[in-house]
Structure 1
Amino acid sequence: MEYTGSSFTAWLQADHPDLLPFGRAPLAAPWGQPQGGGSGAGTLAPHGTTILAMTYGGGVLMAGDRRATMGNVIASRHIEKVYPADSYSVLGVAGTAGIALDVMRLFQVELEHYEKIEGTLLSLEGKANRLGAMVRDNLPRAVQGLAVLPLFAGYDTTRAVGRIFSYDVTGGRYEEIEHHTVGSGSAFARGALKKLWRPHLTEEEAVRVAVESLFDAADDDAATGGPDAIRRLWPVIMTVGSAGHRRIPEHQLAEVCESVLAARSAVGREA
């Protein structure tokens, strides 16, 4: 217990590095492939896909589909990729699902530990920087094909605005303006956001835009799961504003998704 700072991750790195998601022994290469080959290791684990975030009049919204894939197989239709990080921020995880979820849980503990030690919340900039350091620590596994690409968003209480941060595989942090997407369906979701997003959306309007964008991503990207009316599976959508984070309830999402489905079905019949 020599480390006395406020970072839980730094304490683990000093005393128990084997407990970190990126501190375990390197993976063995699949039979018949060279050690360190990214493509082989990456295809053995489920991957989470499309995440999007956008600002709106009251703060920031983040949404993710529910599908995880393993090669050409659907590994799960129920995975959740958007989580609260703390009271005023949310985290979306794309990439290798198992490592991404471990990093997400570690980040939650990191922020909670800081609050207990320091007696105050870490600033939004500080949260974004600490998450970047975690992504950088995962670089050796990313080279093996086990990358984690988070999308981070929160409500900046000092500026009273929602802010969005994206990352590259080396932990580079970039602040995004208006909206951003990550994952295999990101290009299609971003195209929809460019057409549908506008400044000062209400929360209800932002939820509709998110659902429309995920519909477009699922329409063109096989790894992205669209809203499933048969199984009653809807995206996970969270908002963050001056009152903290809020998960959009299932019944509200069902109404929005079914409205979008009905509108698109009507257009198809007319065509």
Structure 2
Amino acid sequence: MDPVDVSRLKEGEVNLGTSIMAVSYNGGVVLGADSRTTMGSYIANRVTDKLTHISDRIYCCRSGSAADTQAVADVITYYLDMYGVESESGHVGTEMAANLFSQLVYGNKDRLSAGIIVAGWDKKKGGTVFNVPLGGGVFQQPWAIGGSGSSYIYGYCDSTWQPGWGKEQTLEFVKNALSLAMSRDGSSGGTIRMVDITEEGVTRHFIPGNELPELSAKLV
């Protein structure tokens, strides 16, 4: 992969103070995110779509600088499109996409503010989740959370998630976890967007702000 110089905005930077997550399950993977984009204490956008299509059955969630993360996602999408055209199989795996994100973030770690969760389904590994935090490491995990809201829900996720879940349990888990993070974190809010990726295809889910589950009431 050729080196790419991506410079971040220094003043007036729009930040994805955010709550993002991805969870693998038996047969697929679910990604989810809130929709609030902040600029300091100012809410720049209440309905941002932070679930970014990268390749066939591969998406990413973005946290950090909105400009940085979008630029990184655009570059990786370009590389994967070129690989799909030039390779005989045309098949792009989720692990390949995550490693490309890692190379780009690590190579520009002094200039970027970008935390990425890459998740998708491929024929080789099924549904997989890779966390690419600030600095450019890459870690495969059954579930990953990120953004400013993640610090509020580590305990909930650790105690609630169970291996062997199916689609509906995973969707409910992601919805509840994000709703809890949004209720605690001032930089997260708006609506919840989720994407479910399986061998059959990609399904989008949208939960408006007035229909978020009140998880704190359920825990009393």
TM-score of Structure 1 vs Structure 2, range by shorter chain = 0.7 to 0.9
Cα pair 2:119 2:127 within 8 Å, conserved:
yes
Aligned pairs for 1:62-77 within 5 A: 62-77=31-46
Aligned pairs for 1:1-271 within 5 A: 10=2, 13=3, 22=6, 24=7, 41=10, 44-48=12-16, 49-119=18-88, 120-142=90-112, 147-159=113-125, 161-176=126-141, 178-226=142-190, 234-248=191-205, 250=206, 253=207, 258=211, 260-261=213-214
Q: Using the alignment, how far apart are the partners of 1:264 and 1:50 within structure 2?
A: 17
Tell me the SS of whatever aligns to 2:152.
Answer: helix
Per-residue deviation, 1:257: 7.2
Q: Using the alignment, how far apart are the partners of 2:124 and 2:114 within structure 1?
A: 29
Structure number with greater Rg is 1
Runs of 5+ consecutive residues of structure 2 not aligned to the other structure = none
- Structure number with the higher strand fraction is 2
Tell me the SS of whatever aligns to 1:141.
Answer: coil
Q: Using the alignment, how far apart are the partners of 1:243 and 1:138 within structure 2?
A: 36
Cα pair 2:109 2:134 within 8 Å, conserved:
yes
Cα pair 2:95 2:130 within 8 Å, conserved:
no
Per-residue deviation, 1:135: 0.9
Alignment deviations for residues 151-175 of structure 1 (CA, whole Å, 9 cap, x no partner): 111223113x321111232211111
Give the aligned residue type for 1:193: C
Q: Using the alignment, how far apart are the partners of 1:101 and 1:259 within structure 2?
A: 27
Cα pair 1:64 1:237 within 8 Å, conserved:
yes
Cα pair 1:84 1:90 within 8 Å, conserved:
yes
Between the two structures, name the one with larger relative contact order (CA 8 Å, sep ≥ 6). Answer: 2
Q: Using the alignment, how far apart are the partners of 1:246 and 1:108 within structure 2?
A: 20
Q: Using the alignment, how far apart are the partners of 2:121 and 2:105 within structure 1?
A: 22
Per-residue deviation, 1:114: 0.7
Provide the alpha-carbon RMSD of the alignment: 2.6
**Which residue is equivalent to 1:230?**
none
Instruction: Give aligned pairs, total.
Output: 218
Per-residue deviation, 1:264: 5.9
The ranges of structure 1 where at least 4 consecutive aligned residues each deviate by more than 6 angstroms after the TM superposition are none
Q: Using the alignment, how far apart are the partners of 1:188 and 1:116 within structure 2?
A: 42
- Residue identity (%): 23
Cα pair 1:89 1:245 within 8 Å, conserved:
no
Change (3 A) 1:106 1:246: farther
Cα pair 2:55 2:92 within 8 Å, conserved:
no
Cα pair 1:60 1:163 within 8 Å, conserved:
yes
- Structure number with the higher helix fraction is 1
Per-residue deviation, 1:50: 1.3
Per-residue deviation, 1:259: 7.1
Give the aligned residue type for 1:207: L
Alignment deviations for residues 112-150 of structure 1 (CA, whole Å, 9 cap, x no partner): 1110111312333222211111112331313xxxx0111
Cα pair 1:190 1:213 within 8 Å, conserved:
no
Tell me the SS of whatever aligns to 2:135.
Answer: coil
Alignment deviations for residues 15-71 of structure 1 (CA, whole Å, 9 cap, x no partner): xx6xx6x0x5x76xxxxxxxxxxxxx3x73111121111112221111010001122
Cα pair 1:185 1:218 within 8 Å, conserved:
yes
